[in-house]
Chains A and B, each alone.
Chain A
Amino acid sequence: MKKPNWKAFLVFTLLVAMAASALPALSTAQAQEGTTITFYRFFGGCSDEYAGVTDLAQATGECGIIQVLTNNFNAENEFGITVETQNIDWFTYYDQLSSTFAGGNPPDIAVLHRLSLFDYASRDLVMALDEGFEQFGIDVNDFTPNALDAASYDGTVYAMPWDVHALLWHVNVDLMAEAGLVDDNGEPILPTSRAELEEHAQLVKETTGKRYFSMAGVDDPMVVRFFETIVWQQGSDVFDEEGTQAMFDTDAGREALDLLLWIYENNHAAKDADYSVSEQDFLAGEAAVMINGTWVVDSYNAQAANPDTPLMSYVVRDFPTLYDVPATWSDSHMWVMPVQPDPDPAKQEAALQFLKFLYDNNLQWARTGHMPIRTSVLASAEYEALPHRSEYVETASIARAVPPAPNQRGNMDVIAEELQASWLTGKDAESVLADIDYRVNELLGGRRR
């Protein structure tokens, strides 16, 4: 017992030394002149891939573009401002953001969805920005009506919108051609009614043996977006105008659920596909149409250009009108400035400087496939020249969003879970829709009863 355990001691010392040596190197990196602001966002982490890159032309995808914009601002702004990115993964983002508010240490700028603004703005957790925008030359009048609407709560602007993103049809033209679903110019023929959709889906299955749709069915709210689009296309709605009441259990809701059920029960989309599997399937040429948002246009375009990817001829289409009213689901990413327990004017100013920089570079973000929030950018030649952009011009005018209401993010989870239950567990349509109404109304009320 008296003999000290040298081996154990050595290993332990080694590990502690390793840990200790890593720490100072990391913490000194932040000591810089000027104001540092924290920038809380998702969009993925790629500070490694784009370390030191400030040339915007080199960036692709959501992550690359926002990272290089940040790098660029850090390197070139004349105010000595440092923007420190906190990249949080998509699934825990809102939980962690809430947690920073609870801990009294919210970031200086955070990304929010239009869907979530209500929760923060209605509790005065984020700053009203009208005055700041005016002071720093961010022109609210240049916001598109949709974007302005997204960023406003109760008549006041609480956020700088960053994009409008909507649901699109991403089409594999080769597969469509194989099924004979192209016109004389080689353009894909998309359905104009549910009957045609069923016919096309059947045709693709019979002639190519592939699925018509690829769509994230589990662990993802994609089916909710699809469902809401179909309801809106029938001239109906899923919430009342004030966002105080859910109304999924309607004729339009039953039709939308029935269409989804038809798709899944006839295996026109894979029941078990999550987001990444649905992407793999489409890129592997296993599906004719991918139901996904604007955010992937840029990266699918790049993939289609890559000879290793089976997907070769890729085009984008507005969500086709299958019923009476053109509509597609949309949302917006936007930047908010949380109310700080100890406000620091220097940081607020720095944050607004950065927002102004982002505002000026809205076109860069639109390269991902998102629609810009500035009327001037939307009308610009540069925007039109971006790949595939001419293929979904209608989307900007048919985009719809759910109304501002409490707990919309929780609602989305609830709706997704219930919808999936109908084809995964065979839960009957009546109780699915009734349960959605019940559960969403509970959350809208702020507390479950």
Chain B
Amino acid sequence: MDNVQPASIAAAPPSSLKSVQERFADTIAGYLFLLPFVVVYFLFRIYPLFRGLYISLHEWELVGTHREYVGLENYRSLLWNNLQWDIPYQLILRVAGLALTAVVLWWLVRRDRIGRIAAVVLFVSAVAIFAGILGLHPQDGAARWGDELFREAAKNTLYFVVLSTPSIVIVGLLLAVALNRPWPIMGLFRTIFFSSYIFSVSVVTLIWVMVLSPRQGILAHFLEIFGAEPIAWLTDKDLAMPAIVITTLWWTVGFNMILFLAGLQDIPSEVYEAAKLDGAGPLVNFFRVTLPLLKRTTVAVVVLQVMFSFQIFGQVYLMTRGGPAGSTRVLVLEIYQTGFRDWMLGYASAMSMILFLFMLGTSIVQIWLTQEEEA
């Protein structure tokens, strides 16, 4: 089972003995088995993606009948409104940056630190960045460019991803390592830490809005014992996002813990016994044995966690509504409000498309980076 790879799906089982007729029957059977899923999948996942692209090329109101084709206008408003591109703009810096990248890449290839294809890909992206994107700048006299709200929402989302991903992954890993012992009591701990994952987002936010409340909250009651001032977590612009991260950690870390536990249980105990004979302590064990062997699991957990984090909506919508002062307004909330409060479905769809591309890019880079390292 350990050798099961996605790729092995494509390898046909020994079928040399089969006749043409049998193979034809197999093909029919295969597609018949796939049919129900593929129909649903196409209709509710693939088609909507293209329909979203189509809507994003329109001025398309949620209610009423206003639908007007506007081409890339929505994307222009979002991204490059009031921007212009010049060759001479910051030319020295741009050329220097490109040259430096080229030198570094060449050095890395010479030293066999990265592959040729990777170097070419990186160089092409460097050209795109230095020659293309960095040549963009606000038009003369224009104080604003693109959609500031959208950029702010993207920034807030990234901030959430950066805060939540490492903390949730690391806490999940630590819990899994601590609980990976065959003692009966560990089953109880596992149940406790996993149980918060099964609550609805609205139950979780209800609990945490109460816990964090500076007047009624259990945390404030606890701090009071030590004479400390209660903290207004959700109405403080610096603490609101961390509070949402804490809530999310409590809610979802159990899922990561389970994935790590599953990974840990596939590590044969002989490995640890061998390490023990070498006189390795628990810390050495963790860094030298456990972590390297958990690499595949860790990659999967990180990729999944990043995907989940980009999609954050419920916690913010129910706990802060994007406030205070817009400090927790994240992309999905912005999309929801643009679509359902302001009725601008076309514009909101354009934002969804950018979110989708952003997530796609991030996961491709992550997977590519880890494979690069393995290779």
Q: Is A in direct contact with B (CB under 8 Å) within the complex?
A: yes
Known: A98-B340, A410-B342. A280 touches B149 (CB 8 A): no
Contact B62 A102 (CB under 8 A): yes
In chain A, residues 83-105, which have Cβ atoms closer than 8 Å to a Cβ of chain B?
Answer: 91, 94-95, 98-99, 101-102
A99-B321 Cα distance, complex, nearest whole Å:
19
Contact (Cβ within 8 A) A219 B323: yes
Is the pair B77, A94 in contact by a Cβ cutoff of 8 Å? no
* Band of interface residues on B: 20 to 34
Residues of B within 8 A of A447 (CB): 59, 77, 344, 347
Q: Taking the nearest CB of chain B, how far is it from the CB of A417, in angstroms?
A: 5
Cβ B215 vs Cβ A417 within 8 A: no
Does B363 touch A at the CB level, under 8 Å? Answer: no
Is there contact, CB below 8 Å, between B341 and A448? Answer: no
Asked if residues B62 and A448 are in contact (CB atoms below 8 Å), the reply is no
Q: Counting CB contacts under 8 A, is A271 at the interface?
A: yes
Identify which of residues 235-289 in chain B touch chain A, using a CB-to-CB cut-off of 8 Å. Answer: 235-237
A417-B237 in contact given A98-B62, A410-B342 (Cβ < 8 Å): no
CA gap between A104 and B323 in the complex, in Å: 32
- Whether the pair A218, B323 counts as a contact (CB closer than 8 A) is yes
Cα distance A424–B239 when bound, in Å? 12
Most-contacted residue by chain B among A91, A102, A217, A439 (CB, 10 A) = A102
| B144 within 8 A of partner (CB) | yes
Determine whether the beta carbon of B342 is less than 8 Å from that of A219. no
Known: A95-B340, A439-B149, A448-B77. A125 touches B64 (CB 8 A): yes
List chain A residues, Cβ under 8 A from B214: 272
CA distance A409 to B342 in the complex (A): 8
Does A32 sit at the interface, judged by CB under 8 A? no
Residues of chain A contacted by B344 (CB below 8 angstroms): 446-448
What residues of A have a CB within 8 angstroms of the CB of B237 in the complex? 424-425
Chain B residues closer than 8 Å to A98, beta-carbon distance: 62-63, 340-341, 343
CB-based contact A219/B320 at 8 Å: yes
Stretch of B37-45, B129-137, B160-168, B324-332 lying at the A interface: B324-332
Residues of chain A contacted by B326 (CB below 8 angstroms): 417, 421
Q: Which among B77, B321, B324 is the interface contact of A91 at CB below 8 angstroms? A: B321
**B341 near A409: Cβ-Cβ < 8 Å:** yes
Task: Write out the residue numbers on chain A whose beta carbons fall within 8 Å of the beta carbon of B320.
Answer: 219
The residues of B that contact A274 with a CB separation of less than 8 Å are 235
Residue of B nearest to A103 (CB): B63
* Assembly CA distance A403 to B340 (angstroms): 22
- Indicate with 1 or 0, residue by residue over B331-355, a CB within 8 angstroms of chain A CB atoms: 0000011001111100100000000
B322: which A residues are within 8 A, CB to CB?
417
Residues of A near B81 (CB, < 8 A) are 449
Measured CB to CB, the residues of B under 8 A from A are 59, 61-64, 66, 77, 81, 144, 147, 149, 214-215, 232, 235-237, 320-327, 336-337, 340-344, 347
Ranked 9 nearest A-B pairs via Cβ: A272-B232, A272-B235, A101-B63, A421-B325, A95-B340, A123-B64, A424-B325, A420-B325, A218-B235
Supply 25 A–B pairs (Cβ within 8 Å), ascending by A.
A95-B340, A98-B63, A101-B62, A101-B64, A119-B343, A123-B63, A123-B64, A123-B66, A219-B320, A219-B321, A271-B235, A273-B235, A274-B235, A410-B341, A410-B342, A417-B322, A417-B325, A420-B325, A421-B325, A421-B326, A424-B324, A425-B237, A425-B327, A446-B344, A448-B149
